[in-house]
Amino acid sequence: MILRKATIKKNIHVPNSIAEDSTPAGVLDDIDEDLLGLLRSDQISPKPLLVCSGGTTSRCASNGHWTLDLRSNHKIIKFQEKSKQVSLGPGIKMNGLLDELSKYGRSFPIGLSGSIGLGYILTGGISPLSRSQGLAIDQIVEISGIWGKGQRFVISKPNRDNTNEEQLIWRGLCGAAPFLAIITNLKLLTQPLRKLNILKSILPAKELANLIYQAEEWPNDVSLSWIWGNEINAYGIGLDHNKEVEVAYQKFISTSSSDCQSEVFKVSSLKKLPNLRKTMQFKPSSIRYHEEVVGLVGPPWKELTYEIIKLIETLINQRPNDRCYIAAQQLGGISNNMKIDYSSFIHRQAMWKPWITAAWPANNKTIRDESLDWLLNVWDKLEPYCPGTHLAQMHQHLPWHKREIQAAFNDWLPGLQRLKSEVDPNGLLPSL
Ligand SMILES: Cc1cc2nc3c(=O)[nH]c(=O)nc-3n(C[C@H](O)[C@H](O)[C@H](O)COP(=O)(O)OP(=O)(O)OC[C@H]3O[C@@H](n4cnc5c(N)ncnc54)[C@H](O)[C@@H]3O)c2cc1C
């Protein structure tokens, strides 16, 4: 592969420790004519080319692979007052998006952390406000990028006059873009900036089950997230000045037992959400940890909630170390209203997204194997209740990649593979 040496670095500093500890073939920090020429003539080797926006996943850089790091040269963000839409480049993290929009009294349904990058939007984007504002992909109105075969494109959200082929391309890009293209810009709808009303509870397993059971009946303006490690921390995240949200919180507080420590407080925006992971309170350690995460999705748990929570309690007690954990966030509401064939996020009937985190000290193969086995066992046990996956992280390097892809796209997978064969015929980007 021949590229101007000035554009190539040999290492990468990113939030994800597996990626940071890898030895890439090289790191490119911009897209120039040299690189486009190599894409068009299929000269990138080995494949896939990895793409980095926020750098929070283990597949933004990997041993022996090239990474295209878009963080420093694509920091474009521009709000258009008239349309209330924002143009966003892959160099901007979700907190940066909120900072810019807050100047205009606007916001965006970001996820539980503002420190993640454009990959959040490209992989679906499940926000604590998705029940009232939709998924992040539901806010996209225009996508610019470069197909795997090297051609630039700018595509607007289709309407009824667009051809079937154009609708399919849009479907592929909304939720599965990382398999098809390098995304250089998104134009997004924005939402009014609203204060949030938060319920925080540290609670025992039985009360978590009660809370989940109640949350399935909550209004769309509030969602539940919880994280279960050494203790269970749960958060209701709702819009402020909303009587129904207040009633939902008061109902839980008044019906829960005295071993729940619950409080209600306000925050000014999604940027000020409490950090779920910080509630894990790991013992201070000089050991560097690596992690992999799998996200599942499934329908309301209804009366099965109590048996599912008992099952999760057993699985938590089998954790190989206390950095492994299970957490979940709530979907539903208007995110269920979008037609299934609008985007590549096919799990429109989902109510819960549990995610499983396996962690181990870097370079400790024994504990790595134990932790990944535990993750797989949790997945097996929860699969009957949450049969889908949310492909927020790529795992082409792990043996369950095919299973994860199948569960993410199901009947849409052959269509997506057909689309990939047209726009990325040489398999430059991660495989499906
Ligand atoms: C602390 C934390 C909290 C999170 N909370 C949520 C949440 O609430 N809801 C939710 O849905 N997800 C959540 N996630 C998951 C997160 O959205 C995904 O892991 C997402 O892919 C991270 O994107 P990134 O840009 O930060 O990471 P990267 O590692 O840079 O990118 C992730 C993947 O996206 C692809 N990609 C990135 N940029 C581009 C591009 N410009 N063009 C093409 N492909 C690209 C690449 O294949 C890459 O492997 C969370 C993750 C973390 C670490």
Helices (H), 227-331: 243-255, 305-317
Nearest CA to ligand 1 atom 40: 183
Both tokens of residue 151? 């051609």
Identify the pLDDT of residue 278. 79
State whether the Cα torsion 30-397-121-200 is positive or negative.
negative
Measured between its terminal Cα atoms, the distance across the chain in Å is: 25
Ligand 1: centre distance to CA 89 (Å): 14
Strand, coil or helix: what is 120?
helix
Nearest CA to ligand 1 atom 8: 111
**pLDDT per residue rounded down to tens, the chain (432 residues):** 556 554 677 789 999 999 999 999 999 998 999 899 999 999 999 999 999 999 999 999 999 999 999 999 999 999 999 999 999 999 999 999 999 999 999 999 999 999 999 999 999 999 999 999 999 999 999 999 999 999 999 999 999 899 999 999 999 999 999 999 999 999 999 999 999 999 999 999 999 999 999 999 999 999 999 999 999 999 999 999 999 999 999 999 999 999 999 999 999 999 999 888 777 777 777 899 999 999 999 999 999 999 999 999 999 999 999 999 999 999 999 999 999 999 999 999 999 999 999 999 999 999 999 999 999 999 999 999 999 999 999 999 999 999 999 999 999 999 999 999 999 999 999 999
Atom of ligand 1 nearest to the CA of 55: 30
Phi-psi region of 302 (alpha: psi -120 to 50; beta: other; left: phi over 0): left
Ligand 1: centre distance to CA 28 (Å): 19
Atom of ligand 1 nearest to the CA of 390: 11
Both tokens of residue 347? 């799990």
Question: 183, 147 in Cβ contact below 8 A?
Answer: no
What predicted TM-score, i.e. pTM, was given to this entire model?
0.96
Nearest CA to ligand 1 atom 2: 113
Ligand 1 site residues (CB inside 6 A) read: 51-57, 59-60, 70, 90, 111-113, 116-120, 122-126, 177-178, 182-183, 329, 392-394, 430
> Phi then psi for 47, rounded to 5 degrees?
-105, 155
> What would the 3-class secondary structure string for 196-231 be?
EEEEEEECCHHHHHHHHHHHCCCCCCEEEEEEECCC
Atom of ligand 1 nearest to the CA of 51: 46
Atom of ligand 1 nearest to the CA of 181: 43
Ligand 1: centre distance to CA 43 (Å): 27
Identify the pLDDT of residue 281. 72
Comparing C-alpha atoms, which of 64, 59, 58, 67 is closest to residue 30?
67
Identify the pLDDT of residue 280. 74
Comparing C-alpha atoms, which of 89, 96, 97, 90 is closest to residue 69?
90
Nearest CA to ligand 1 atom 17: 120
Identify the pLDDT of residue 7. 62
Ligand 1 pocket test, pick from 17, 122, 289 with the greatest ligand atom count within 8 Å of Cβ, gives 122
Strands 191-192 and 232-239, sheet pairing: unpaired
